[in-house]
Structure 1
Amino acid sequence: MQQHDTHHDHEHADGHDHHGHDHPPAVTAGNAKKIRLVFIFTTFYAVIQAVGGWLAGSLALIADSGHMISDSAALLLALIAYQIAARAPDGRRTYGYHRVRVLAALANGATLLLLVAWIVWEAIARLREPVEVLAGPMLIVAIIGLLINIAGALILNSGNKGDSNLRGALLHVMGDLLGSVGAIAAAIGIMFTGWTVLDPILSVVVALLVVRSAWRLISDSIQVLLQATPSGIDADQAQAELKALPGIADAGHFHAWTLTDDASVATVHVTPAPGADSLTLPAVVGGFLRERYGLSHVTVQVDPPGSLERHS
């Protein structure tokens, strides 16, 4: 690689120059506490639902208890991810462990899609071979589940909406909540009509409602892991805007990516205009990108005039 007389500076949100990545976004302890509480609720209700389904002879409730146990596992995964993400950066992992949260969110979304496939499979089997359901006990257990899931959703919804790990947990709880509503509707319908096919039909409806949210969670997580440019940032436009700044003759090699839910970073090369003080350019560029695009960490390299044209 050809050597250049360059300046490598890091412009951060606090307006000061730093070297290294020594302050990744903090893990929100409040979010971890909320997920821990909902994990307890979900696990407790999964046991109640399994016992209630067995007593009522309801395969729907027993099957949904498996759904709840899977959700408990997903919530436990989220809690483990928080613990790992809280570990301090080291010499090898200078950004810390925050992307573990993204991996957990991806696992949550994938689990949701697997659960949807399983629900649809079970629903088809029940449509082919209807089973007898004791609607009264089923209704009681479903109402208990609805109350627990409402409480869980309210707890998680009060957390940081930008945390994909928390969003994944909330999606699981919302799926459970919709499942409880469907179970209540099915129980009432069976009580008045005797149509046991209402249960699998409503299960499919709930599954379809969950698919869209699960896929969005997976898609967002994959974009982060692929280091795609964050939403709302166009690399070509950003370079054109930087070229228009005072003291800058050219800008190129702009790259931006999401580090974790609440932090995006970028690197860019610029060349000084004639008479410009190259030492001032990192602060100018970093400040502009911070205000324009909300980037929290910008690394600016100042190259000799004309070097970007030769390497474009």
Structure 2
Amino acid sequence: MTSKARVLVAFILNISFSLIELVCGLLFRSSALISDAVHDAGDAVSIGFAALMENLADKPANKRFTMGYQRFSLLGALATGVILVFGSISVLVFSIPKLFNPQPVNYSGMLILGLFAVATNVLATLVLKKGHSHNEKILSLHFLEDTLGWLALILVSIILHFKDWYVLDPLLSVLISGFMLTKSLPELWKCLLLFLQACPQDLDTEQLQKELLSIVQIKSLSALQIWSMDGSHHKALVRLTLKENTVTNQELTKEKIRQCLLEHGISEVTIDIEGKV
């Protein structure tokens, strides 16, 4: 399944469940379901935007976007992350007052809906987990959140079957939203850094520079710039001087540099050799 198809599956599942949650939340009088429905509705908008960005990311380069559209996927991930964080904060604001005034809920209906939701969300998480783009990773994180939330909701509904601890319903919303903030904020920060063309975190630039300088023909490096288009496709610019600037040395050095960078996951490199032959 392509990246675009995975994101489309995520969108359809998310918008469908947000409507189901809202209706069931009103019927079952569950603040956890209502707040999650609002959360998911916002996520559905961001996922739809992410699907559009994935579609644009496949377009070839043109005169206006000479480097292609790959970074549109990263833009979609950034937007999704922002809405995920905002949704979690909104749920906290909605649920905390409920802790001090809990209301009875329909725990039997919550249990049935929870079992159905867990099966669907596990399937969606497995589908998206096969993807490698930041867009798919952050969407997978969203469905992981939903799965954990539904498992907790099932547990709460079982407890409410035997005890009138209705405070567990808003407490569940607070705990899940707090947990997701700890997960989504670092992912959002990582997307933001990549969007600002920071070097990918999985690359050790100092080690890479040492490996390049170990190539016998290279005298010095004046620039080593690395950035990522979408979190998985990395590019680099290398500017250097040679000990002996000959045509043979240039071709040999370029081949060694490309091989070295490829081993570090950098598939495209621009090499600028300073000085005259």
TM-score of the pair, normalised by structure 2: 0.90
Closer/same/farther in 2, CA of residues 122 and 285 from structure 1, 3 Å limit: same
Cα gap change, 1:44 to 1:300, in 2 (>3 Å):
same
Kept in 1: contact 2:218–2:241 (CA 8 A)? yes
Matches within 5 A, 1:137-148: 137-148=109-120
Report the Cα distance in structure 2 between the residues aligned to 1:233 and 1:46, rounded to whole angstroms: 39
Conserved 8 A contact 1:81-1:100: yes
Describe the shift of the 1:239–1:170 C-alpha distance in structure 2 as closer, same or farther (beyond 3 A): closer
Q: 2:163 aligns with which of 157, 176, 193?
A: 193
Q: How does 1:49-60 map to 2 (within 5 A)?
A: 49-60=21-32
CA distance in structure 2 between the partners assigned to 1:44 and 1:234 by the alignment = 43
Taking the TM superposition and a 5 Å limit, the aligned residue runs for 1:82-101 are 82-101=54-73
> How has the CA–CA distance of structure 1 residues 275 and 208 changed in structure 2, closer, same or farther, with 3 Å as cutoff?
closer
Residue equivalent to 2:265: 294
1:212-263 alpha-carbon deviations (Å, 9 max, x no partner): 2201221211121121122344445434433331222222211111122221
Structure 1: stretches of 5+ with no match in the other structure: 1-28, 306-312
Letter in 2 for 1:142: G
Q: Displacement of 1:278 after TM fit?
A: 4.4
Say whether residues 1:167 and 2:115 are aligned partners: no
1:197, distance to aligned residue in structure 2 (A): 0.3
Deviation at 1:63, TM superposition (A): 2.2
Distance 1:129 1:290, change over 3 A: same
Q: Secondary structure at the match of 1:79?
A: helix
| Structure 2 Cα separation of the partners of residues 229 and 211 of structure 1 | 24
- Please, which moves more after superposition, 170-179 or 275-284? 275-284
Q: Contact conserved, 2:149 with 2:176, CA < 8 A, in 1? A: yes
> In 2 relative to 1, CA 261–195 (structure 1 residues): closer, same or farther, beyond 3 Å?
same
Structure 1 or 2: larger helix share?
2
Which of the residues 247, 258, 267 maps onto 2:237? 267
The equivalent residue for 2:47 is 75
Equivalent pair of 1:269/1:303 in contact (CA under 8 Å)? yes
User: What does the per-residue CA deviation read over 1:137-192, in whole Å, with 9 as the maximum and x for residues that have no partner?
Assistant: 222222222222122222222x22x2111111111111111121122122222221
Contact 1:105–1:221 (CA<8 Å) still a contact in 2? yes
Tell me by how many angstroms 1:81 deviates: 0.8
Say yes or no: does 1:208 pair with 2:205.
no
Given the superposition, is the C-alpha separation of residues 289 and 44 from structure 1 closer, same or farther in structure 2, using an over 3 Å criterion? closer
Amino acid at match of 1:214: S
CA distance in 1, matches of 2:224, 2:74: 24
Question: Are 1:163 and 1:261, in contact at CA under 8 Å, matched by a contact in 2?
Answer: yes
Give secondary structure in 1 for the equivalent of 2:174.
helix
Q: Which has the larger radius of gyration?
A: 1
**CA distance in structure 2 between the partners assigned to 1:213 and 1:300 by the alignment:** 38
TM-score using structure 1 length: 0.81
C-alpha displacement at 1:101, in angstroms?
1.0
Q: Which residue of 2 aligns with 1:41?
A: 13
Q: Is the partner of 1:260 in helix, strand or coil?
A: coil
In the superposition, relative to structure 1, how do residues 64 and 299 fare at CA in structure 2: closer, same or farther (>3 Å)?
same
Instruction: Provide the identity percentage.
Output: 27
Change in 2 beyond 3 A, CA 1:233/1:154: closer
* Partners of 1:52 and 1:139 in 2: CA distance: 11
Q: Which residue of 2 aligns with 1:65?
A: 37
Aligned counterpart, 2:256: 284
Q: CA deviation at 1:71?
A: 2.4
